[in-house]
Each structure stands twice: as C-alpha cells, then as structure tokens.
Structure 1
Amino acid sequence: MTETPQTDDAPLTGHALIQSYLKTLDGSPGVYRMLDAKMRVLYVGKARNLKARVSNYARPSGHSGRIARMIRETASMMFLTTRTETEALLLEQNLIKQLKPKYNVLLRDDKSFPNILVAKNHGYPQIKKHRGAKKEKGAYYGPFASAGAVNRTLNQLQKVFQLRNCTDAVFDSRTRPCLLYQIKRCSAPCVGKISEADYAEAVSDAERFLSGKSTNIQAKLASEMQKASDEMEFERAAAMRDRIRALTQVQTAQGINPRTVDEADIIALHLENGQACVQVFFIRAGQNWGNRDFYPRVGEDVEAPEILEAFLGQFYDTKEPPKQIILSHGIENTDLMEAALSDKLGRRVQLLVPQRGEKAELIESAVRNARESLGRKMAETATQAKLLRGLAEAFDLDAPPKRIEVYDNSHIQGAHAVGAMIVAGPEGYLKNQYRKFNIKGEELTPGDDFGMMKEVLNRRFTRLQKEDPERDKGLWPDLLLIDGGAGQVSAVAEIMAEHGIEDVPMLGVAKGVDRDHGKEEFHRIGQRPMALRRNDPVLYFVQRLRDEAHRFAIGTHRAKRAKAVTANPLDEIAGVGAARKRALLAHFGSAKAVGRANLADLMAVDGVSEALAEKIYAHFQN
C-alpha cells in the first residue's frame, strides 16, 4: 500500500508529491500508477528506468495540457518493479484494460474474432465457424474480421467443396439427404453419397484453399469439367463450372489480395479533432479476411505513436499476432513491442512502417478507410448529440443524458419470461453494456408485467449500489426508459423509492389509444401524460430506442424458449455424458421411454452400470 507523503499542514499533491517519491526509486524497469485523492487510477505507465521516468513528471513545466491536468490531480502513486522492460510493457497493458484509467489511451472494443474450423474428431470432418478458445480438435483458419466475413467465405466454400456443416448428432441421425444436398451445398456423406476417401480429398482441397494454395484447385476443377464435357456428362460439367465460379467469387469478394504479403495485419490510424480511428485488415494465406475499425479513447493532445503503441499492446493481449504487423506510423518502442509479441507467438514478429512498394499501397488503402470511417462516426456522433439535447429539452431534463437505459420484458403467457436492458449514449448503442435477466420470482402471477419489471429493476439497482456506490464509474443511468404506461412507471418508482433513489429521471413509453406507431404517450411520475408531434426527430429517436429494447428482449426470449424445447432430461443426471445418452436413446427411443424403464431394462444398456441405473431410475421417480 502506497502512503501519500504529507507536510505538517496538508498532504502533498501534484509536482511536489511526485518529487517526494524520487528518493525512494531506483533505475529498475517497472510500472507506475498515478491516483487521485479518492484512490482512483488516473494513469498507468511503464518505464525502462522508473526514477528517470517519474522525474519527468516532477518538472513544473514543459507538459502538454492533458499531462499537466493529470499531474495536478495526482494525490498518490504506486510502483511495481519488473525484471525486464518487456514484462513492464505487458503488465502496463493488462492494468490499462483492467483499470481503464482516465488519461490512458483505451481500446474500448476488444471482442474476439471468429475463425473457420475444420473439425477432425469424426471420419467425415465438419467445417464451421468458431469463436473463443481453440479447444476442439481440428485445423483453425483465421482470424476473420467479423461473423459476416466468415459466413460469406463458408457459404462459398460449401458451393465449391460441398463439406458438411451439420453437428455430429444430426449427421448420425440422418436417414436421407437434407436440403443442402439437393441445392448442391453438401455431398451428403451422412447417407453414403460420397466415399470417405473422396470426402477426405475434398477436405484436403478446402484446407489448401484456406492456406492460400488455390491455383492447383482451380486447375483440378477445370480439368474435371473438361473431362466430363468430353464424356458428354454435361450435368457434371455444369456442376464443376458452378464450383469454379464460386471459387472465383470468394477470391474477388475479398477485394485486397496482396501479391507479396502472405501473413500480416495492416494497422492504420487517422486522427482528427481529438478523435481516432484505427483500421485493421487481416491478411492470411495471401488473402484478405476482412477489416474492422476501432475507436480508441484518446485525449486531445495524444500523438499517433502513443496511440498505436497502446493499441498494439491491448489488441494483442488476448490475440495471436501474425508474423508481420504493417503500421501507418512508427511507435516509440518498436524493439520492445517486437520482443513482447515474439515471445507471445513463439517466433519472430516484425513491425514495419513501409515507405514504398505494395506494403505502402496497403497502408494507404487502410488509412483511407480509417479516414472515411472516422468521418462517418463523427457525423453520427454529432447527430446523436443533437438528439440527446432535444430529448433533454422535450422532457425537462437537467442536461443531455450520457447513459440511457431502456427496459422491456418478453414472455408467452408467463412462460420463459425474460427482462432486457439496452444502453445508449452519445456514441449510439453500447452493446457490450446490454443485459438480460431471467425472471426468477416464483411468486409472480404468469404474465404479470408489473411484477417482472419490479424484479428486473430491483436486481439492477441492487447491483448498481453494490458495484458503484459513489457513482463515479459511469455505470449509473441519467435516464430510464420503460416500455409501458402509468402502471409500469409506478411499479418502477416503488422500487427506486425502496432503494432511496430520487435523482434518476424516468419515462414510460406507451402506445396511444389506437396503438399506432407515432401516437406514443409519455408518462412521468406526478405529471400528466404527454405526446410529441408526429414528425418530431426526438419521437423517432425514442421509438428506435424502444424498438431496439424490444428486439433484444424478443431475441433473448426466443433463445431461452429454444433451449427449453431442445432440453433433454438426461442432461440433468450426473454421470450421463454424451456417449451414454446416445446409448440410452438408441436403446429406448426417447427420454420419456427411459423414464418409464425399470432397473433391469436400464442395466441392459451398454455402458450403464447398476449404480448408474439406480441413479437414472431415482431421478425419474423423484
């Protein structure tokens, strides 16, 4: 624990405080944290030499406006030494992602990227989209920039190679080909329409294509088409032609397909008016597998090298780097970042800032994308800010809301009930802040919307008061939007009163008497219902918020209902895994028949011992 140095009169702050730490520091590498009077982390930094780095902050002048403000707010510091500067770099980026300090460059969107998986745990391998840890046996190809990029590639690969995408359970249960076979997207190995050897060859061709070796595949398909044509098998020749066309389409749809870059990430930055866009293109196997734009949080006086260095550290914290990273701007510690990423990958990673040639052309294209994306983002943000100001004026709010939480419920006569919360702010929808609530209240009457809304808001504010009691983490809403009229608003007001919350404004959005889109009534505590004119942009904005909450609630409800429909009682029994479940279902035909079976019948199933049979029998009897 770091203690703040004090004088006889008051604790030290700012330059004087930082100066007081210098006598206890040495030249070791490490990480430092600057904290304010409430012990909130303002900044996390790394240093090759802690004493030299911190002494820079002790100087009373020569700092940018952002750094000068940070120094003035600093009330204490914490230090952690490391063995190497590379360790300091990795620790710094982990702490930034964890603590989200006010004055650091912060990568706000850090989702994992999908891959294509050719699963190898079956005689007829399945090809599918995969996201997350690579635990399943098989070959992984990626990353792709988005699920859409994966789906487009998979769609074309199915046309070309006709590999199955069904699960093993579906594969094992088929007795006749599915629709994909009829439309020539699958070779139907499930019912023996293709031999295991021929299917294995198709899998091998698909993997060669995903590895960037498509020329031989096209030549092979062309040869087969010509042979079929010569033998007057015109239907088979047409099928080969369609597969060649699909293969060409997947290549042309990729846009950029570099001639000299086999494996790299193209990372370009555009800065404008204190906002930044980082554009990342994924080049794998000589093919462009999509691009993604990021909008890191930056200060008005942060420069490109600092932004890109912070971006690289945070972006590759949970992702495998390629062997080349091509940048639009140089960073301050190129050798250090290369060492850290090389250690992570287990082989050398190069950081390049090309000045000419194809790599420079790739960067130029990425910079153009970043500039255009930031322009669109700034235009959307300006429009959003105008709508938030209009919302504040229409409903007499003290200021434009920075965080709007919208709530809705979804159920069918009380079954599979869920609550949903979406969040919106100056930058649009904050989808990583969306939350779903499985309605747990057993005492609720089925279909009791008021009771469900009470439960959702009670759980929400209980958690808020526990996680952010000081309201300084940006988690508290400035406005609540409730899908419903006076009854729902009164129910929510009850919950807020129980929690002692009186300063969060609330608005109920109800359809008018004709339930017509555009005649919504707005309800507030202690005030008469009101309406906005039909062509008011604020009305459209509130409608979009309400509809987004409804979409999210319906989707969550459908997922819960689908899960319940496909649930199997055997899944609830400890000791009954996938193999034993298949054996039980194959023997008895259904889970219901398993439940009616006696002990002797259960023990007759292969792999079911007397102890397990008793457990299964007891489960269904209870």
Structure 2
Amino acid sequence: MSEVHSEQLLAQVAALPSLPGVYRYFDAEGGVLYVGKARNLKKRVSSYFQKNHGGTRIGHMISRIARLETTVVRSEAEALLLENNLIKTLNPRYNILFRDDKSYPYLKIAGARKAGLGEEQPPGADAFPRVAYYRGAVDRKHRYFGPYPSAWAVKESIQLLQKVFRLRTCEDTVFANRTRPCLLYQIKRCSGPCVNLISADDYRHDVENAEAFLRGDTQQVLAALEARMMQHAQRLQFEQAAELRNQMAALSKVLHQQSVETISDKDTDILAVKVQGGKACVNLAMVRGGRHLGDRAYFPSHLEDAAAVQDFDEAAETEVESPAPAQPVEVHVLEAFIAQHYLGVPVPSTLITSVPVSAALIAALSAQAGVRVNAVHQPREQRRLWLEMAQQNADIQLARLLAEEGSQQARTRALVDALDLAPDNLDTFRIECFDISHTAGEATQASCVVFHHHKMQNSEYRRYNIEGITPGDDYAAMRQVLLRRYSRLAEAGRDAPDATPPKGSGGGAGRLPDLVLVDGGKGQVSMAREVFAELGLDLSVIVGVEKGEGRKVGLEELVFADGRAKVFLGRDSAALMLVAQIRDEAHRFAITGMRARRARVRVGGSQLEEIPGIGAKKRARLLQRFGGVRGVAAAGVDDIASVEGISRDLAEAIYRALH
C-alpha cells in the first residue's frame, strides 16, 4: 500500500509521537476522508500503511489518502471530544455522521427574579412570571425546563401547568393592558393576575409548585398544597382552602393519567438503535421530571463505509496476539450518536441503552458534563418498559424510512422505464425542471428545480429574473432561461469537441441532466428544442408536461422534442406521480419567487434603491406621495421636487432613471 503514497506522507507517519491524539486524513482535493482518535498515534496511524488492504472499503479509503494532520491531547477523554467536534465540523466521508440538530424546544418560566415571601414588589408583569414555549439559546435571566423532544411535548406540559397551577401565558404587553380577565380565566386556566385576582405571594407559591412539579418533586408539591389548605381551613378561609383542594385534585388526576412511575428516575434518556438494509435509526426517548415526554428518531449517514473503518481501528487498537472481536454495527452507531449528540446539549444522569456502550465514552461524557453519568444496558421494571417502547419506535421509524426510500426508487425506476431511458446509475439519475411565472407580464421569473438521488435537492434550486422580453411572452422567457442555464455547458463541449457533455452523475450546471422537463406542451418544447439545437445539445433529454383535457390532474401527456409520439402514462402511474411532483415543485418555487419580486417592484424597492441619493426615508416619502413606483415614473420633475427632502437636481436624476 505504501507505493501509492508520497515519501513525505510516509515520513510524517514514521515521525508521529506515541501519545494520545486525533488524526485527520485528506484526499488530493483537500476533502476530509476520516477523523479518528488513538491512545497511541504512531501505532494507530502506522497500521493503515503497513499492508495492502486490496479492494475493501478500508483499502479504497487508504488509497485516497494524500495528506495527514494530527493533534496531540492529554487524555482519551479530550481525544473523544475533539474527534466528535471535528466530525461535526468537517463532515468526513468515512465517519458515521448525525445531522447537527440541536434545535430542541424548552419550557420557559419568564422572569427569574425571586423575591422572598412578604417582600414588596410592584404589581407588574415581573411579579407574575409567565410560562411559555421557547426555542433558542438559554440564559440566566429566565428559568428553562427541558430540552423536550418536540414542540407538542412542550405545549402539552404548558397545558398541564395551566390546568393545575393556572399560570399565565400571555405576553407582558397584553398583561399590562388588560382591564378585565380573559377567556383563560373564565375556563379556569389562569388565575387572573393581570387584574389582581390573585396576590403576588399566592401566585409565587403556584410558580414554585409548578417548578417542583417539572423537576419531578410531585409528592413535595402535594404535601405543600395540603399544608397550605389546612392553614386556610384553620383560619376559616374556606374559599382559599377549596381552591387548593381543587388544585390538589387536578394534580392527582394529571399524575394518574400520566402513570408516573419514577423509580427515582427524574431525568433519563432512553436510546434504542436499529440497523437494517444499510440504514440505521437511533430513537431517543426523553423522561424529564419523571414524565415520559415522547421521542425523536435520528438517521445517520455514511453508515457502511464508516463501520468498516471503525472495525479496522478497533482491531489496530488491540494486540495482534489477542485480537478483540469486531463490535456490532449497532454499537458503532449508538456510540457515535452519544458522542455527537451530547456535545452542547445537557446530558441527564442516566442513559438507558439497547446495546452496551464503552465505559471510556461514558467517563468522557461525565467529565465533559461535570456530573456523573450512568449507562444502563439491561434495565428492569419501568426502565425495561421504556426501553421496549423506544426499541419498538426505532423499528417502526426505520421501516418507514426504508419503505419511503424504496417507493422513491420505484418511482424513479418507473419513469426511466416509461421513457425508455438507460441511465448508467439509477441512484444518480438527474432531472431538471423549468417553469415560468408572472402576473400579466409583471415580475417574470423562471425557476429550475433539481431531482436526483431519488429526491428533490433544494440546495440546487435556482431562480432567474427574466428581462428584455415582451411582457407575457412565456416562450421568450423559456428561451432565455435555457440559454442561461446550459450555454456554459455547450461552450465546454465545443472546447473539447471529441467529448460529449456527460450526463447525470454530477451536480450543478457542469453536467447535462438525464432529463429536462418543461412545464408546457408543444410550444414550450419547440422553444426548448431550438435552444438545444442552437447549443448543440442532445434533444432526446427534453420532455414537456402538457395539461390534459380540462387541465385535470392525472390526464397529463408527455411531449418529446426529438419527434417521438406523445405518451399518456395513466392516472395511477408511479412515473406520472414523480413527474407531477417535480412539475408542481417547479411551479411552487417559481410563483413564490415571482410574488416576492413583484412585491418589491410594487413598493418601489429595486428601481428606486438603485438611484444615488435615495435612501429609505426619501423612498418612503416618494412612494407615499405617488402611490407606488409607477406613480413616481408618471410624475413630472416639478411634482417630484415638491416632495420633502427631494432637491431639483435629485428630482431630475429620479426622472431620468425612471425613463
């Protein structure tokens, strides 16, 4: 294997220290291939270059290594944290990678100021904290509970707090301007602090009990409510005692409905993993305050290649005389998830896992979080029920993903068969679809949407502002967008006359797609044929989507630029479903861009902004005076100069710019 690597790289490997650290492999283009950690950098990295690995996955990766970078650290825990930070940042090709989704919602109790009982506070919003849904960075100004797995889980918890503790949810501005209680007070979901129907001290008691409930101290809350109820009864304050009795009854009902069995687990994460068909799912279920809040599924990328490289890493870590058995791929997936997910996310004290995970990983996680984290692999009683439920959800979510991907591939295959195409690789079959949108010729825009790898690729969508044509001329607009999209490709083909423009497998405008869809019939297809003939491109890739009789969905026909007869796929055709999906997406993308552009034009944004000396205030005065950019264009120089802040010279400049 060393024959394919430079002497400089091999010398760098030989000079590595026998210390713990993190290493990165790069290919010749500078792309990151793999990020790994090692107790002994010299031993681990050298193992990659000591023998020929043939045509295996690991051999393919090693053959592409052109450059190496290493970072020495003080401990394995530091190496673990650095490794996963780099994986999330660099997105290497041969690491298991989970999408960085830290956008978890929280339940927020706004206003962290806690005055002691009896301390005077102004009767404003600060004296009556509100409970709210929150997503974003947390701070010390407020109190946050979570994270929750979904917005639904947060809103359900807020409803519980409203039913039991009757905390307010209104904004401070609404609170400050109320003169009578709102509907939530009438239906007993708020205690009416906005109109002083509850004292600040009593409301503060409710807030403290709500926080204790969210922390899982339910028995403490019930005991405190009972003690306050007895105090009011002894003072013959029977109305207040009845309110607390009702609150206790509501809380007991909620606890019964939730079937809370905490077994001392107030904050716990349950992690179940399922691997099948080259795909994996990690299902994360969250228990907070002793309540099961729901779960969320995660699907990693780079699974098969990364698992092969990690197996090689583990074998290299052990002595040759006593090689350790390869870890199941489920272990690789779950350990990668734990290491990446809990970077920057609060980690609970207990993790319940469907497969055993490394003790070193849990130790590093504990050191990072500053609290002792315990991982349980074979739980009992309530924990076992939680894990079984999480495992079942992982199975369901993975089956759904495989079914969806299978159906997408089936639709791509159906379209290829229906059009009698023969792509080199079905997975890289690429379709680009064009649509024109305008309103009576105003703000004409063309859209290009892209479908490949069996799904729409939003990042590759493009919009084209169409100018210099007769308003409403869709054929001219189609000609302009196709020329702008494919002229560079045609030029590249002419520069290398012996080479035909490659199709499909690449992205962007550098490769001719396998199929070009245009939303329209014979007219639009004829225009596309003229453009492709002029550019010297293959006419067979152009297909028009012609509306059927009465423009009914399912009756569309496909029109070909190369002279083939029309094709009617049938209402229930999987191929037609895919064509309709792509066509509708192109229309949606075009019309949203057109509306935004039209709005800018109608408020005079783009045309007036380009005139030197016209700022936001002057532009607003002009539009207010003349009712829009068209009104400004219709006005004379004297009329424009009469607007406040517009000099004679500037008025003449505006008139010239708009004419």
Relative to the length of structure 2, the TM-score reads: 0.66
Using a 3 Å threshold, how does the CA distance of structure 1 residues 413 and 438 change in structure 2: closer, same or farther?
Answer: farther
2:554 is matched with 518
Shift of 1:299: 0.4
- Over the aligned positions, Cα root-mean-square deviation in angstroms equals 5.5
1:13 is matched with 4
2:418 is matched with 394
Using a 3 Å threshold, how does the CA distance of structure 1 residues 395 and 94 change in structure 2: closer, same or farther?
Answer: farther
Correspondent of 1:299 among 293, 301, 304: 304
Shift of 1:270: 1.8
Shift of 1:127: 1.8
1:36 is matched with 27
CA contact (8 A) 1:439 1:455 kept: no
CA contact (8 A) 1:96 1:104 kept: yes
State how 1:227-242 maps to structure 2 within 5 Å.
none
CA contact (8 A) 1:14 1:71 kept: no
Q: Tell me, yes or no, if structure 1 residue 251 matches structure 2 residue 265.
A: no
State how 1:55-454 maps to structure 2 within 5 Å.
55-60=46-51, 65-108=56-99, 110-120=101-111, 122-123=125-126, 124-135=128-139, 137-215=141-219, 217=221, 243-244=250-251, 247-248=254-255, 251-252=258-259, 258-297=262-301, 298-299=303-304, 302=308, 303-332=329-358, 334-336=359-361, 338-339=363-364, 341-354=365-378, 358-399=382-423, 400=426, 402=428, 433=458
Shift of 1:134: 1.3
Correspondent of 1:533 among 566, 570, 586: 570
CA contact (8 A) 1:174 1:190 kept: yes
Q: Alignment length, in residue pairs? A: 554
Cα displacement string for residues 507-557 of structure 1 (whole angstroms, at most 9, x for unaligned residues): 665643412222234456566764421121222344445556777889999
Shift of 1:52: 0.4
**Unaligned segments of structure 2, at least 5 residues:** 113-124, 309-328, 490-502, 601-619, 626-643, 652-659
| Partners of 1:372 and 1:179 in 2: CA distance | 41
| Partners of 1:139 and 1:95 in 2: CA distance | 32
Using a 3 Å threshold, how does the CA distance of structure 1 residues 351 and 427 change in structure 2: closer, same or farther?
Answer: farther
CA contact (8 A) 1:266 1:325 kept: yes
| Partners of 2:173 and 2:531 in 1: CA distance | 47
2:496 is matched with none
What SS does structure 2 have at the residue aligned with 1:514? helix
| Partners of 2:475 and 2:191 in 1: CA distance | 53
| Partners of 2:195 and 2:408 in 1: CA distance | 55
Using a 3 Å threshold, how does the CA distance of structure 1 residues 182 and 371 change in structure 2: closer, same or farther?
Answer: same
CA contact (8 A) 1:405 1:424 kept: yes
Using a 3 Å threshold, how does the CA distance of structure 1 residues 495 and 39 change in structure 2: closer, same or farther?
Answer: farther
| Partners of 1:471 and 1:445 in 2: CA distance | 34
Shift of 1:295: 1.5
Shift of 1:374: 1.9
| Partners of 1:36 and 1:483 in 2: CA distance | 41
Using a 3 Å threshold, how does the CA distance of structure 1 residues 259 and 29 change in structure 2: closer, same or farther?
Answer: same
CA contact (8 A) 1:257 1:288 kept: no
Which structure has the larger Rg?
Answer: 2
| Partners of 1:182 and 1:213 in 2: CA distance | 29
| Partners of 1:348 and 1:52 in 2: CA distance | 32
Amino acid at match of 2:408: Q
| Partners of 1:417 and 1:203 in 2: CA distance | 56
CA contact (8 A) 2:362 2:374 kept: no
| Partners of 1:459 and 1:240 in 2: CA distance | 68
| Partners of 1:440 and 1:169 in 2: CA distance | 43
Amino acid at match of 1:342: S
Shift of 1:150: 2.1
CA contact (8 A) 2:226 2:244 kept: no
| Partners of 2:527 and 2:222 in 1: CA distance | 65
What SS does structure 2 have at the residue aligned with 1:26? coil
CA contact (8 A) 1:532 1:539 kept: yes
1:600 is matched with none
**Unaligned segments of structure 1, at least 5 residues:** 6-10, 465-469, 564-590, 597-616
State how 1:478-557 maps to structure 2 within 5 Å.
509=545, 511-522=547-558, 530-544=567-581
Using a 3 Å threshold, how does the CA distance of structure 1 residues 479 and 380 change in structure 2: closer, same or farther?
Answer: same
Shift of 1:281: 1.2
Q: Tell me, yes or no, if structure 1 residue 49 matches structure 2 residue 74.
A: no
2:632 is matched with none
Cα displacement string for residues 78-115 of structure 1 (whole angstroms, at most 9, x for unaligned residues): 33333443333223223222332222111136342111
Shift of 1:291: 0.9
Shift of 1:491: 9.1
Shift of 1:140: 0.9
| Partners of 1:164 and 1:493 in 2: CA distance | 64
Shift of 1:164: 3.0
What SS does structure 2 have at the residue aligned with 1:97? helix
| Partners of 2:130 and 2:407 in 1: CA distance | 46
| Partners of 2:461 and 2:139 in 1: CA distance | 28
CA contact (8 A) 1:265 1:325 kept: yes
CA contact (8 A) 2:539 2:562 kept: no
Using a 3 Å threshold, how does the CA distance of structure 1 residues 364 and 47 change in structure 2: closer, same or farther?
Answer: same
Amino acid at match of 1:314: Q
CA contact (8 A) 2:517 2:542 kept: yes
| Partners of 1:494 and 1:304 in 2: CA distance | 55
| Partners of 1:420 and 1:245 in 2: CA distance | 57
Shift of 1:27: 1.1
| Partners of 1:456 and 1:137 in 2: CA distance | 52
CA contact (8 A) 1:145 1:290 kept: yes
CA contact (8 A) 1:16 1:58 kept: no
Amino acid at match of 2:143: A
| Partners of 1:394 and 1:108 in 2: CA distance | 36
Q: Which moved more, 1:367-376 or 1:277-286?
A: 367-376
CA contact (8 A) 2:540 2:561 kept: no
| Partners of 1:351 and 1:395 in 2: CA distance | 55
CA contact (8 A) 1:187 1:193 kept: yes
Relative to the length of structure 1, the TM-score reads: 0.69
Q: Which moved more, 1:542-551 or 1:50-59?
A: 542-551
CA contact (8 A) 2:102 2:345 kept: no
1:613 is matched with none
Shift of 1:116: 1.1
Amino acid at match of 1:82: V
Shift of 1:366: 2.5
What SS does structure 1 have at the residue aligned with 2:294? strand
| Partners of 2:110 and 2:473 in 1: CA distance | 46
Shift of 1:163: 2.9
Amino acid at match of 2:374: Q
2:500 is matched with none
Using a 3 Å threshold, how does the CA distance of structure 1 residues 560 and 379 change in structure 2: closer, same or farther?
Answer: same
What SS does structure 1 have at the residue aligned with 2:168? coil
| Partners of 1:434 and 1:352 in 2: CA distance | 41
Shift of 1:151: 2.7
1:588 is matched with none
What SS does structure 2 have at the residue aligned with 1:128? strand
CA contact (8 A) 2:540 2:562 kept: no
Using a 3 Å threshold, how does the CA distance of structure 1 residues 218 and 336 change in structure 2: closer, same or farther?
Answer: closer
| Partners of 2:535 and 2:198 in 1: CA distance | 66
| Partners of 2:534 and 2:78 in 1: CA distance | 49
